[in-house]
Amino acid sequence: MIEVNQSFLEPAEWYATLPSVFASACVLLTDAEDRVLLVKPNYRPHWSIPGGVIETGETPHDCAVREISEELGLSVEVGELLVVHWSPPFEDRPRAMVNFLFDGGTVDDPGLIRLQADELDDLAFLPWDEAITLLPANAAPRLSSARGARAEGHTVYLPN
């Protein structure tokens, strides 16, 4: 007879002991001049890559599609995963964050963008180098890595 170790926790108890992280997805969009689209949230001091927090039951890709629709009023073909970025707790965020950055391609007609006014104050298509300087220190590496990943056709992992 096989003896079963009874000292293991029940699955729900065991899962409750594991560390957790926040997860988000964002989308790299550029215009015909290869300038990067950034948005200016009204709830934080810095600019960001369009995207947001992954909701319960949602995949990173589905989150990316939803966020672009909500924030910009666009229906885009969200493509390849460019960057997976793990970052430790930052400023007032108490846990680590895993961010998935997808390629959204080129916005052919920026006039179709409809900014989500209750969350975003502004948007801009900016040269890569300028766009990187407007992002918070923990997010800037993912944009610089996305440029190379898009050009070379591979995914980059950033362990921060």
Q: Tell me 114's DSSP state.
A: -
CB atoms within 10 A of CB 135: 19
Taking only the tens place, the pLDDT of each residue in 67-104 is 999 999 999 999 999 999 998 888 788 999 999 999 99
Cα separation values, 55 from 25, 41, 52, 76, 106, Å = 10, 19, 9, 20, 26
Looking at residue 4, what is its pLDDT?
Answer: 61
Residue 12 lies in a domain: no
- The residue segments making up the domain with residue 103 are 20-158
- How far apart CA 52 and CA 66 sit, in angstroms, is 9
- How far apart CA 37 and CA 113 sit, in angstroms, is 11
Looking at residue 5, what is its pLDDT?
Answer: 64
Q: How many structural domains does the chain have? A: 1
Residue 7 lies in a domain: no
Residue 26 lies in a domain: yes
Looking at residue 71, what is its pLDDT?
Answer: 96
Looking at residue 14, what is its pLDDT?
Answer: 85
CATH code, 45: 3.90.79.10
Cα separation values, 106 from 11, 37, 95, 125, Å = 45, 10, 33, 11
Low-confidence ranges of the chain (pLDDT < 70): 1-6
Looking at residue 10, what is its pLDDT?
Answer: 87
